[in-house]
Every structure is written in C-alpha cells, then in structure tokens.
Amino acid sequence: MERAATGGRRRLGIAVVRGDSMRPALQPGQRLLVLYGARVRPGRVVVARFADGTLAVKRVAERRGSGWWLLSDNAEAGVDSRHRGAVPDEDVAGVVRVRLWPWPRLL
C-alpha cells in the first residue's frame, strides 16, 4: 500500500461491521479500528475491496498468486474469495487491529 502521502506514517480508520458473514467473531454494528499500511498475514481480519467495488471485512486465509484468499468466518453468510477469487494486494485496504465498540478487544 502507498504510504508516501502520510510521510511514511500508517493511518487509522474506523469500519462498521454489516451483515452476518463474520459471526461469531464480529457482530453487525460493531466498530473496528483499521490500520492502513499494516502487514497482511494469514489469520488477520482485513478490510478489502472486491473487484465489483464492494468493501468487506474478511479473514485472510492464505496468499494465492499476487493476492490474498479472504474468507468469511460464517461460510453460510456473505460473499468471499470462494465466490470472487483472490484479492490483489492493492485492494486490501487495511488490517483490523481492535474491536472498539461495544466491548473493546484486540483482534
């Protein structure tokens, strides 16, 4: 990810969970602290943009080619890489570090 615009500093942002695809770990309405420019690794929860422009919160399963295979924790809900394929590096916006609300917790 490009960090030149921030002087090499990582940026923080907030994401809100929508839908049931990340249950039971994450519930709809929970607020997440996202660290942009953080290192992506298997097992981490990320915010990513699928090819159709949809932003999603998903868990990194593995590296596939030049992208990441992202999965829902709840395989019966939502859409993930099983439906849309690997997500290129540049489309992984950031890594979720903390669930802020309603009960703070490191992820």
User: 4-106: what fold?
Assistant: Umud Fragment, subunit A (2.10.109)
**Rounded to whole angstroms, how far apart are CA atoms 38 and 11?**
9
pLDDT at residue 2 tops 60: no
Look at residue 44 in the predicted model and tell me its pLDDT.
Answer: 98
Look at residue 101 in the predicted model and tell me its pLDDT.
Answer: 86
Kindly report, residue by residue over 5-17, the tens digit of the pLDDT.
445 677 999 999 9
In the chain, domain spans:
4-106
Q: Which residues pair with 23 in a beta bridge?
A: none
